[in-house]
Structure 1
């Protein structure tokens, strides 16, 4: 059932992004009286799952979920329709339109991507507001959950003051910026120090084998479940909080993990909290100091408030207040993604090894349905799609825009033969990138 929910979110998000992107091309093409022969969700290689012709346009759903397309008459695109291009230009064709109209048609898709992302962020600000824990309230620092971050020099209990020189005002800012960190300013034992991260930290994080976040808020030992045949499943329950072990206070789960290592083949007295009541019990450990008890690494803000762990700051916004906030979120996301691309194109960072394909995108979605997560991920993917399509690579929108700008500035239109060759080179390059990204997914699945 979890995989069905995850797949549903993935397909819904992908379909929404593809349809709206292609609408961005379709609408201006129609406004400029340019014939659109096909409008497809997914690719219809050899055959279609569904199709219906309305007017001059065939609308359909293909069987290959690697994207979508609109086929515009008289345009050199992935269809490579040389027969049509060999005929005299017709007034309804793309090639017969003024360069400025063709430019608007080509920019339509990415424009819609960015507009969609900004609308989502505005809507999220209006509907969900802004909930956060101030970084200053993490009195005992953060819990480092990824060994690569620990090896880089950041320890559990450190207060992360700034990342890349930018002050971290909120806890959420830490998790978002740490992945791209070049240097981290921390406070340890009331002393500030700046730690330089290795240039290939992204690759080290990926190779650490730890899938969850890099750092977490320090929280108590809250039981999240039990391993099969755990000897402690009878006397302990999910949501119990272990507060003492063998008389030793356990304030945070990271402390408990270290203390548990001391006990082997022992039954140890423990104190737990259950529904507000204090209960005395015992915890059994095997010969590997394992208890078979799984603990929570993070909890929702509602539970943070309920357990009185940290102060949760809540802000609500009216519709017009949400507009600048949503726009600011969108701008920051574009800037952050630009920084990621910069790292990917720098071989020294080895970030190119972490480029993923459809499996990587699929794995971003949670296994439980969450509209907050769905819209947040969809907005990010929309920006990623917009930025990637703007890259000046033939066969992408950015490649067409590059040649159109050359035509507008120079007054000379590249020949159809040149555009056909450029389209072919761009198509081969895109296939190579697609194989590389999805090949990375396959390699990680096999090796890890």
Structure 2
């Protein structure tokens, strides 16, 4: 069942990505010859309004084939205003960007649904209090529920960290303990800690950790829009930073995951709850959007770079350079896929 869920989720994400390309291409009058979910031998196809819609045997991706577009023949010229290569560079950039953009839109839609249905997150309940910490000195105890900090209402554990970091000086905590509301003054100190990329950083902290208790937060439609926007931007920044740290060598290459890891994550989420499945689908959708914008020649980002070059230099890159760079891009992608699978197998084998 987990494998079926993985394939359905991946196909859905690929469909939405390619639909972005398709709609933008049709908007500019480009003929889309093939809309494929999967690669390789087709197992189902249907002609509709001049486009062959197909499902192929290998479900790990997809593509739209437009008239006048062929990476192996960059100088290909097909007559007619419905040819991709006859469009202006900025129009081709919009068509290319539409795929990743569709992934960001899909993630925002999913986060919006999650916000309305109820997002599960850590409760603002204190679990452990560190020794000699500002919280312990102020009299904070395990089980205290933090209601407000200064004038900021606290609903989730994440709100606590954000409030502590964004303020200065002493903080007034309002707590619920044994059904009573009490107040404590805490003076945070700067402590050594690690961020999500395991880098050593200094951070304003009070020395508490969360209790293993979840709370469901429901949002009205206006709040849900804000939640969806914030989560999509936050996820995008996190993935961009992750790629940057990977290139810098801060994140080891052994952390790269492949299709096996993705499949396991999706499978585990589907067994947990529909909200968990929607959340991981949204995150993977953002991931696809970000990664496709990387300036690797075989990806949308690489093709966008070619078109930007054409706008600046007022000429297309030579066919030879285009083909060599595209082949290099495919080699890079294939190497990353093999590395991901290798890491997946290493984890499975312990």
Task: Name the TM-score class by shorter chain.
Answer: 0.7 to 0.9
1:32 to 8, 28, 31: 28
Deviation at 1:89, TM superposition (A): 4.2
In the alignment, which residue of structure 2 is the partner of 1:49? 43
In the alignment, which residue of structure 1 is the partner of 2:259? 358
Q: Quick check: 1:101 aligned with 2:95?
A: no
Segments of 5+ residues of structure 2 without an aligned counterpart are 132-141, 145-153, 162-186, 200-207
**SS of the residue 1:138 aligns to:** strand
In the alignment, which residue of structure 2 is the partner of 1:378? 281
In the alignment, which residue of structure 1 is the partner of 2:56? 62
In 1, Cα distance between the equivalents of 2:31 and 2:62? 18
Deviation at 1:16, TM superposition (A): 1.1
Whether contact under 8 Å (1:114, 1:386) holds in the other structure is yes
More helix by percentage: 2
Q: Quick check: 1:430 aligned with 2:342?
A: no
Deviation at 1:8, TM superposition (A): 3.1
In 1, Cα distance between the equivalents of 2:328 and 2:28? 29
Cα 1:419–1:443 change in 2 (3 A) is same
In 1, Cα distance between the equivalents of 2:76 and 2:305? 23
In 2, Cα distance between the equivalents of 1:421 and 1:388? 21
In the alignment, which residue of structure 2 is the partner of 1:138? 127
In the alignment, which residue of structure 2 is the partner of 1:91? 81
Cα 1:87–1:383 change in 2 (3 A) is closer
Give the TM-score normalised by structure 1.
0.59
**SS of the residue 2:33 aligns to:** strand
In the alignment, which residue of structure 2 is the partner of 1:13? 9
Q: How many aligned positions are there?
A: 295
In 2, Cα distance between the equivalents of 1:436 and 1:22? 26
Whether contact under 8 Å (1:392, 1:402) holds in the other structure is yes
Segments of 5+ residues of structure 1 without an aligned counterpart are 143-156, 160-167, 176-189, 203-214, 219-297, 302-311
Equivalent residue runs for 1:103-118 within 5 Å:
103-118=93-108
In the alignment, which residue of structure 2 is the partner of 1:395? 298
In the alignment, which residue of structure 1 is the partner of 2:135? none
Q: Quick check: 1:120 aligned with 2:110?
A: yes
Deviations 1:141-177 (A, max 9, x none): 69xxxxxxxxxxxxxx9x9xxxxxxxx99446899xx
Cα 1:196–1:322 change in 2 (3 A) is closer
Whether contact under 8 Å (1:24, 1:108) holds in the other structure is yes
In 2, Cα distance between the equivalents of 1:433 and 1:411? 33
In 2, Cα distance between the equivalents of 1:191 and 1:394? 48
Q: Quick check: 1:194 aligned with 2:191?
A: yes
Equivalent residue runs for 1:215-254 within 5 Å:
217-218=210-211
Give the TM-score normalised by structure 2.
0.75
In 2, Cα distance between the equivalents of 1:382 and 1:75? 25
Deviation at 1:324, TM superposition (A): 1.3
In 2, Cα distance between the equivalents of 1:409 and 1:113? 28
In the alignment, which residue of structure 1 is the partner of 2:184? none
**SS of the residue 1:345 aligns to:** helix
Deviation at 1:385, TM superposition (A): 0.3
Cα 1:392–1:195 change in 2 (3 A) is same
Decide which moves more: 95-104 or 437-446. Answer: 437-446
**SS of the residue 2:253 aligns to:** helix
Deviation at 1:24, TM superposition (A): 0.5
In the alignment, which residue of structure 1 is the partner of 2:229? 327
Deviations 1:315-352 (A, max 9, x none): 432212211122111111112222222221122x3432
In 2, Cα distance between the equivalents of 1:410 and 1:67? 33
In 2, Cα distance between the equivalents of 1:13 and 1:390? 21
Deviation at 1:418, TM superposition (A): 2.7
